Amino acid sequence: MIKRIIILVIAVMALILAWGLFAQDKVLSASSHDAFFDNLAALCGQAFEGKVTVGGPADKAFSEQRLVMHVRKCAPDTLYIPFHVGEDRSRTWIITRTGSGLQLKHDHRHSDGSPDVSTMYGGHTTGAGWPNVQAFPADPYSQELFVRTGMPQSVDNTWHVYIYPGETFTYRLTREGRELRVDFDLSKPVAPPPPPWGAEKD
């Protein structure tokens, strides 16, 4: 009988300890995600020019164009950040607080505002990250989309977003054999660009 009581007490203590660690991780995760989101939201309404700092032959179109990101539309849990490549206004990054972390989606539109075949791909955070850095591995929807549209090499994509207030905002894509990094200078705001394609349909 005493042995059973001892075993029961040990089991209960283990559960309490495990719950404490779980709760601590959740608090840390929520805090870092919220801080990251707030760092981006503080840029609402502003636009910044960037340049490709790491890339390859596939990124030549980016390297030869003026690159501008614009934190254009801000809601309590969602940020809309158009990414303009020269006159191409087809891209918008959407970052959302989901309650279990952060989600990054890529909204791609044609000039008439209609969705591109390859759109709304992205990923969700899988860890706490940091107030200045978050990573978004490709989610199942994106992986299925990449395979269906003939881009199976992209199923291992991870997108990284860095935000250092007053200094740099970075958008980075990595996978085996592929890396693209675009750095934006947050110390020098520029005039906001025109709305992204399809904005009037939102």
| 51-73 per-position pLDDT tens digit | 999 998 888 888 999 999 999 99
125 lies in which domain range?
5-201
What is the number of domains present in the chain?
A: 1
User: Which residues of the chain are under the pLDDT cut of 50?
Assistant: 3, 5-29
Distances (CA, A) of 21 to 27, 71, 126, 185: 10, 36, 17, 39
Task: Output the pLDDT for position 7.
Answer: 43
pTM metric for this prediction: 0.85
Task: Output the pLDDT for position 48.
Answer: 98
Q: What DSSP assignment string belongs to 71-109?
A: --EE-SSEEEEEEEETTEEEEEEEEEE-SSSEEEEEEEB
CA angle 136, 137, 138 (to 5 degrees): 115
